[in-house]
Every structure is written in C-alpha cells, then in structure tokens.
Structure 1
C-alpha cells in the first residue's frame, strides 16, 4: 500500500515527460568556433551528467583537452578518436537532454569544409539552427555557407551565437559589429526569428545564466531562448501525404498501405488518391499495433486500408484527393553537391525522394551560387560543397511537392550508381511542365517489323577501349563482313561524329559524358530502325556505358572491350597523341591524365595486343551468329 503514491508519482512524471514539447536544433559554423564546447557546457550546466561521466571528462581533458586546467566540454561530444586527436568534429553527433520546460535533440555538426555534407544532414532534421561565430574571427566563408544551407533546408529559427566573447574583453562594440554584418548578409533569407547572443561556451557566460560580464546585453540566455522559442508543427497544416513504405498483406483478407505520415491529418472516410496513377479511393481504417485510430497525423507510423482495390506499391504517395502533389519526370531543384568527384550533367545517377528511388540525370546546370555574394555563376560541373540550381530528368514520373510547400515530399538525395554513396542533397523548386505536354506518338511500323524485313536482330555493338586500341579498325572489318552478307548496318565512329553532331564538345569529363549521351540516343534511334549499329568510342566511364545499355532493350547492347595494354596502344600511336599528352600539350587524355574504367562484364573481350584485327573481327561475327543476331 505504501508504494502506490510512489507509483502514482512515477506515472505522473512519465506523463509530464511525454507531454513536453520537443525542439530539434543543430550547432554549425566555421572551424573551431566552439560548437562541441557549447553543447558540452549545456549538458554540464543543466546537471544532466552523471558523476562517472564527469570523472571521465576530467581524465579526458587532462589527456586530450585544449582548455588548460579546465574541463574541455567538447570531449563530451567529440567521441571519435580522430576527433579527439585533432580537436575537431568530423561526424554528426546527436545528444538528448531535457529541462523542466522542454525536451531537446541537438546535432553537433562539423565546421570543416570537407564535412559540409554532414552539416546538411544535421540541418535536414532540425527546427532551429545555432550559428556560432568566433568573436575574434567574425563572419567567415563557412559561416555564410552553413547559413545559406540552413535557409535552403527551410529552417526558420536561427540563433547567432557570438562565442568566445571573453577573448575580446566582452566588447559590445565587437558584438554589435558582427551582428550588423550577419544581419545584412541574411536580410533576404526571411527567417522567422534571428536572435543574437554574446556568450562564452567555455566559461558559461549567457549559456544558462545571465553573465555579469555583459551588462550591456538585455536579451535572453541561450537556454531561455531554446525553452521558449515557438516552433509550430507546420506539417500538421499541410495537405495529407503518406509515402508508401510497404504493402501490408498478412493474409488474403487484409491489404493495407504502411508508412509514416509526412504531413497533414487523415481520418476514416477521407478521399485519397494514388498520386502517380491518379486512382482514387477513401480511407476505410487506420491500423496500428495498438488498434485502430479515429485520426492520425504527421509523424505517425500507420497502415491505411482503402475502400477500393487500387494499385499502389512502395514508392507511391497516398495524398489528399482535393490537394494533390505534382507528378512529372522533370523538375528544377536546388542541389548541394557532397562528393569529391564532380557532378557531370548527363551522367546517370539515382535519386531517392520519399520512399521511391528512380534513375535520373541532371540535364542542365542553370547556375551555381557564390555563397558569399549570392552571385549566379555559370558552370558546367559542380564540385564538392557547391550549391546550384539544376534541372533533373527522371527515368519515370515521380510525385513531389515543391520543397517550400512541403519539405518532406520535396527533398531528395542523389546516389552514385556505381558506389551507392550519397553524393548530393536536393530541394525541388518546381516541376518542368514541358515534360507533361509532350506525349509519345504511336507508330504503326514497329522496330520488330523493320528488323524482320532485314532478316536480323537489331543491336548496338559498342566498341570501347583506349585511344589506339584498334576499335575503329576492328569495327570497320566487322561492318565490312556483315555488309558482304547482306546485313543492314551503320558505323558511328568517335572521330567522325565530332565533326558534326558533337563538334561543340571538348574533352573534359563533362563533355565526354555529353558526347556519349548523344551517341547513345542516336544509337537507340538506329536500333528502332532495325539496324545493327557499330559504335566505336573510347567511352572511358562505366556510368555512361551503363546509360547507353539502359536506353536499349534487353539484349540490344553488346559491349565489346578491345583490351589493349597502354604500352601497345602508345607504341602504335600514328597520330602522336600520346606523345603530345605526355608533354602536357593535350589535357584530359584518356590513359594519361584522365582515367579509363575497364568494363566489368563485357559481352565480348578482344585481346588486341595478341590477336590480329581480322581474327578479332571474325570472333565478333561468330559471336553474333551464335547468339542469334544474324543467321
């Protein structure tokens, strides 16, 4: 009996914790502005550390610390060995803490330029950003870059934390100067709140309690502001969206669509639409592990059953029938590039938007943005940490909302198809309606009927290898043999095409990608005509050869690797190109200062250094006959 009050008090405590609002925020800024120290100070001063944690911190401070005899609070967050050794943050570190008024999840993000992608990751899930500035250094390039990314990712609440104010003798003049410079920089960003606070993370000035060292400052302490800033759950006010994560079919009598509601509120009886197909229905029930609900809202994981049998699968979006997302295979977007290897327009990538992953290419870089001046700069490629406005083309239509209207359904990541690494993060600006105004014209004569008249199976014979490997010689011999047998062929040679269709292209990586993209599209047209098309191009990148393969039907792309050692190709170099490349007279020359990526699974590999051109041409023709392309 005596334990009931204790149990009741404990239940009340848990209920109180559950009912507290949650604020997600991140710390960002330039290198060594004190981001990790600030979070450590918050945890320490709010008395959320256990005695053993403080003891460990004390020992670590003596071993790795940079604060002299004082506790180095950054070590509470910098957990990686490399971070402690270098005194920097590398990865995103998340910490949870709570006060009597609110619960918090804080993301400590790196300041180094090479880890900007990690900062963008932390910002993508936050409600508020603390932009730290070293009072001695002022506003730096990385401060501007992080602020611009914060704006791009839709954060509306910003704290300008002018840290290390103690190192400038708590100067109000210096504080006002930094606030003025920053306010002018973000004047057009449209933040709902921008609160500047002078503080010392190391000594705790204006972090939890007001500092006697800044009598001229009358604003809130950092914690006061974090506890009281009004962050509305705007997702509830947006139209209903549920990206389908999986189709729940435990038995023949139940079929539901499971996922986390991205925005809005849904109730049984509401009219919904499968965004991609346009099929409509109504909500029959909202099912969870705890039973059926009368209502579900943004952030809740649910299974929805519908009154009608509609076709929907993973990647589709269930949306309010009265307020539908856009559906298009082309859109404009802001893109943050996050990889050391540059973005190349025309190169095939994957994009993941919501729960859907589709193939996509950047068709145009409209301009990149100078984060210091916001000047729009022309660009053919996009390097690490650069931000640009680009046009995307997807292999199939996708459903989305503009990011400004709904961040959950307007944000996407870009994935490298070869390495599966995330290489970019994007925010959809708007759909390009040109894509929805052009439809395929139905043709009465098919590819199959054209090929049947010629008595052959259409295909693209894609000869790839180093310059001087013998590609053109072998391709010419193959075409000559096929022509003698009455086959219908056409040969696209790299040198010849650059005199016409691709005369405007150079030899940079970006131009090489576009070179192959155009030839791949032309090859597809020739295949539709029922021809056997021979393509002789260096085509050094696997990604572009894969693009060509995926444009064609199954079995229509035959990759022929003319495998010639570099020294052999260089020895037979009648044009003297290798010699000039080694002398630095030709830039971006494959095999010298530009890479060649060998095929990993070519249909045909020819050992050009060991066999004669005639023998290799015979081998190609024999392969075509053995695999049913010609009789």
Structure 2
C-alpha cells in the first residue's frame, strides 16, 4: 500500500479519457461518505452559493455549529430524515487538472445492490472506514465486491481521524490490516492508497492537516488528480451492442439502414471488417453517423449509428464486433454473481438474463461455489445463495450470448439476472470464474 502520490503512466498502456475519472464511494453506515462527498464538492467550488446557504440554514435548524455538508448529497427526503444514503447519487466536480464523475453509494447491507451498481463502472473507489472502529464486516464485504468487479484502484480513507487518540498508531494499524486484505484479494500495493482524513473538518481532503504530521502522502484531491486513469485490464477490439435498427422509409432515405447504439469497447473506423454476432456473418463498415454528422472513426463510449456494406438481418441484442478477437457466442457458461434478491437463489431458477441490449430467458443450472468475503474462503456446492452472497454458478440461456470473459472486458463481460414477473434485478453477474484469482490468492 502506497503513501505517496502515484506517478503518471509512462508505460504506454491503454488509457482513455485521461481528463475524466470515474470514482465511487463505499463503506459502512455512518462512516461519513456523504459528508466526504459534500466536502469534495465544497472544496472544489462545485456547488452554488444558494445551495451552501440552504445547507447552512438546515444545519442551524438541526442545532449544528458548522454546515452539515452531507445535506449537499443526501437528496431524497427519506435520506434526510434517516440520516443515511439509500440510492446511488451521481455527482460531478472538477479541479484545474481533471474532471470527475462520482457515485455516492449506500453503506447499509440491504443496499449492497446499489453499491454494486455504483461501483460497476468506477476506475477508482474511495472506501471509507471510521478511525474509531477500523475495518469492519461491511468493509471486507465491499472490498471483496470491488475485487470481483475488477476496480483497478482503491483509496482507503480513514475518516474521523481527529476523533481518536494517538492517530498515528490508529492509522498505521488500520492501514496494515487493509493492506493484508487487499493483497489477498489481488491488488498490487501500488494500486491502494491510504489517507487519514476528517471529512467534517476538511483535513487532508483538499488541504493538508497539521494534525497528521505523521502522514507525508498526498491529500485526497492530489491523489485523485494524479492517479493514472486505467481502463480495462486487457483491452479488446470493437464491441457494439445494437440498440435500435433505424429504417426511416422516406423518399430521401429509402435505402437507409443503420444500427444505433453505444460503443462498448474498442474503436471502429470506416472500412473495418466486422462480424455480426451471434450469426457470424462478416461485412464491412461503410459509414458512421451521429447527430452531429458523419465520422471516420469512433471509440469507446461514443453513441453512433453504424452503416454496413451488406444487407444483413440484424436486430436489437445482436453485437457487431471486431473480426480479430470476436467472442464465441455461448448458451451455457460459468459465471460469478452477487445475489441481490430477498429470496434465496436455488438451482433450477428460471430468470431473465440481460446482457448489453439482449434479454433472453435463462436457467441457473448449478451452484458451484460460495465466497465468504469475511474469511476469504471458498465453499463448494452451496445449497443456495442468500441476499448479498457471492457465488459461482452455471447458466443456460435460450439465445446465444456474445460475451467476453469479465476479466478481459468489464463492459461485455457483465450481465444482470432479472425476475421475469416483477422485473426486479436479482443479481449482478460476471461471465467466467472471477472467484478463481481470489481463491488462489487466499491459498497462497
């Protein structure tokens, strides 16, 4: 675990959108996540004066001497009344060096599904712990979930450091325990940064604190500004889930047939040879249209309409991919899931699987393993998966799925399991055995 700012990436690796960093917060209830997010917004001058005035008035009404910055982000009425975060709130702020999209996620165990959602696209997660309680069960659960989701980097924010005696010893002990945990879960020491902070006072958030002279590392803002923006661990070629087929059928566009969606991975250019999945038919990109006009090429995250040289039967749910590394469509596969349903998951469950823009009936064939995020052990052949438990299962689908292994690509290697009757999300799934690296690390 490092205690100094990470150097800029000079490896020539795959780095995209280096001026925008997607981050998320996680931690146990009352660890101060909302206050920290409010502090980040306040210290980067990302809130309006009337918002600060409203928070100040509300804080006075609550009998507080200083503004309660958590009110800047706990937007739901239920959140304000209970003093907790329930839903994932996306916030935007910027410094002179970088822009940020932050997902403020809940801390309560019953809202783990929201934490999974908020962290699924994060390139860095700030995991808070209360200096008075240290690493707790929910800390270990969140760290395990982040490892499974393939989050590249973590920040351990030891919050409320001003409320403990001998802060240096407390910080060292918590940091060492967390380093052992993250090392077992597969992170390199350089990818985890520990910072002692006080979100309420602003210590080591944007400004260095005189109370932590034992700490020589960066402030939280300094670290967020300097950490390399790493995309997927192993970049793949072009992946484009078709969302909508555009056929204007007007005199001007009588022969127009375009395939609209968002580039999930890679880059595509006019003239590239591509393959349509699951049919396996090859063709060539003849044009790329957008609302702002035509393009010669497009990359990850861009919403486009792809035109193809050949008239092919393509519909919503199909994937247009690079020929060189196109995935083989699968109807039976191993997956790792975080179960989010109130009722347990048992073998034989009939659900709806959503992968990209494809939705297809699916059956859970077997439950092969259960991961205990507290002692980092893996138990074979569990009878069921309970709420918030993580396990390895087999899945059979009615339609073939053109999915990559999650450890290769996060976007096209993830899926959801949905209740076909109520439409509720029951599980977040990762194609492949994401437990294998954790199991091997735990045995090492």
TM-score when scaled to structure 2? 0.90
Q: 2: CA distance between counterparts of 1:278 and 1:47? A: 51
SS at match of 2:338: strand
RMSD: 1.7
SS at match of 2:257: strand
- Measured against aligned partners, the alpha-carbon deviations of 1:268-327 in whole angstroms (never above 9, x if no partner) come to 111110120111111111111222211111111111111112221100000111211121
Q: Which residue of 1 aligns with 2:419?
A: 416
Q: Which residue of 2 aligns with 1:379?
A: 382
Question: Kindly tell me: are residues 353 and 297 of structure 1, through their superposed partners in 2, closer, same or farther at Cα, counting changes over 3 Å?
Answer: same
- Measured against aligned partners, the alpha-carbon deviations of 1:358-415 in whole angstroms (never above 9, x if no partner) come to 0001111101111111212242111111110111111121110001111111100110
What are the within-5 Å matches in structure 2 for residues 30-69 of structure 1?
30-64=28-62, 68-69=64-65
Question: Contact (CA 8 Å) 1:414, 1:423: kept in 2 or not?
Answer: yes
From 247, 250, 255, the equivalent of 1:249 is 247
Q: Which residue of 2 aligns with 1:388?
A: 391
- Measured against aligned partners, the alpha-carbon deviations of 1:528-583 in whole angstroms (never above 9, x if no partner) come to xxxxxxxxxxxxxxxxxxxxxxxxxxxxxxxxxxxxxxxxxxxxxxxxxxxxxxxx
What are the within-5 Å matches in structure 2 for residues 401-440 of structure 1?
401-429=404-432
SS at match of 1:326: coil
What are the within-5 Å matches in structure 2 for residues 120-519 of structure 1?
120-169=116-165, 171-191=167-187, 193-234=191-232, 237-251=235-249, 252-377=254-379, 378-429=381-432
Q: Which residue of 1 aligns with 2:89?
A: 93
Q: 2: CA distance between counterparts of 1:64 and 1:96? A: 27
Q: 1: CA distance between counterparts of 2:77 and 2:83? A: 10
Q: 1: CA distance between counterparts of 2:294 and 2:247? A: 17
Structure 2: any 5+ residue segments left out of the alignment? 1-16, 435-444
1:81 to partner: Cα distance: 1.8
User: How many residues of Structure 1 are paired with residues of Structure 2 in the alignment?
Assistant: 411
1:235 to partner: Cα distance: 8.7
Question: Contact (CA 8 Å) 1:155, 1:191: kept in 2 or not?
Answer: no
Question: Kindly tell me: are residues 76 and 334 of structure 1, through their superposed partners in 2, closer, same or farther at Cα, counting changes over 3 Å?
Answer: same
Q: 1: CA distance between counterparts of 2:166 and 2:96? A: 30
Q: Which residue of 2 aligns with 1:75?
A: 71
Q: 1: CA distance between counterparts of 2:115 and 2:177? A: 23
1:170 to partner: Cα distance: 5.5
Q: Which residue of 1 aligns with 2:437?
A: none
SS at match of 1:407: coil
Q: Which residue of 1 aligns with 2:25?
A: 27
Q: 1: CA distance between counterparts of 2:25 and 2:56? A: 24
Q: Which residue of 2 aligns with 1:105?
A: 101
Question: Kindly tell me: are residues 235 and 242 of structure 1, through their superposed partners in 2, closer, same or farther at Cα, counting changes over 3 Å?
Answer: farther
SS at match of 1:409: coil
SS at match of 1:400: coil
Q: 2: CA distance between counterparts of 1:170 and 1:207? A: 20
Of structures 1 and 2, the one with the larger relative CO (CA 8 A, separation 6+) is 2
Question: Contact (CA 8 Å) 2:123, 2:231: kept in 1 or not?
Answer: no
Question: Contact (CA 8 Å) 1:330, 1:392: kept in 2 or not?
Answer: yes
TM-score when scaled to structure 1? 0.63
Question: Which protein has the bigger helix share?
Answer: 1
Q: 2: CA distance between counterparts of 1:97 and 1:106? A: 8
Q: Which residue of 1 aligns with 2:9?
A: none
1:236 to partner: Cα distance: 10
SS at match of 1:186: helix
SS at match of 1:211: coil
Q: 2: CA distance between counterparts of 1:374 and 1:99? A: 38
1:430 to partner: Cα distance: 6.3
Q: 1: CA distance between counterparts of 2:83 and 2:59? A: 11
SS at match of 1:161: strand
Q: Larger radius of gyration, structure 1 or 2?
A: 1
SS at match of 1:96: strand
SS at match of 2:312: coil
- Measured against aligned partners, the alpha-carbon deviations of 1:441-460 in whole angstroms (never above 9, x if no partner) come to xxxxxxxxxxxxxxxxxxxx
1:59 to partner: Cα distance: 1.6
What are the within-5 Å matches in structure 2 for residues 580-619 of structure 1?
none
